[in-house]
Amino acid sequence: MLSQGIVTYAGASDGPAWSPQHVQGASGQVLVITVEPPQPGDGTYPLRPEFIASGKTYRAGTVFVRRERRRAEEEKEDRRQRLVPWQ
């Protein structure tokens, strides 16, 4: 099941909000999964188990951040900003 697969990597109620949507592509339907941006007061949502994609290994505990409409692994400056309280 889709939701069980997502929960494996992102968590259930203790993970980020996400939603599936089917979009018509050039050669058929495509599943798009949107992970909602964090809200003030949200915790950090690290990757649960290790994950391998396109030959790259993402270790359990990896935190991803949003950058210019793409996701990237968290860097040192991201961690510092995350620890500063929301204003």
Give the pLDDT score at 24.
94
Summarised one tens digit per residue, pLDDT across range 19-30 is 889 999 899 999
Q: Name the residue among 85, 40, 47 with its Cα closest to residue 63.
A: 47
> What is the per-residue pLDDT for 87?
44
Give the Cα-Cα-Cα angle 52, 14, 56 (nearest 5 degrees): 10
What tens digit of pLDDT does each residue of 11-68 get? 777 888 888 899 998 999 998 888 888 787 887 888 888 888 889 898 888 887 766 6
Bridge partners, 32 (sequence order): 21
52/71: higher pLDDT: 52
Question: Cβ distance 51 to 9 under 8 Å?
Answer: yes
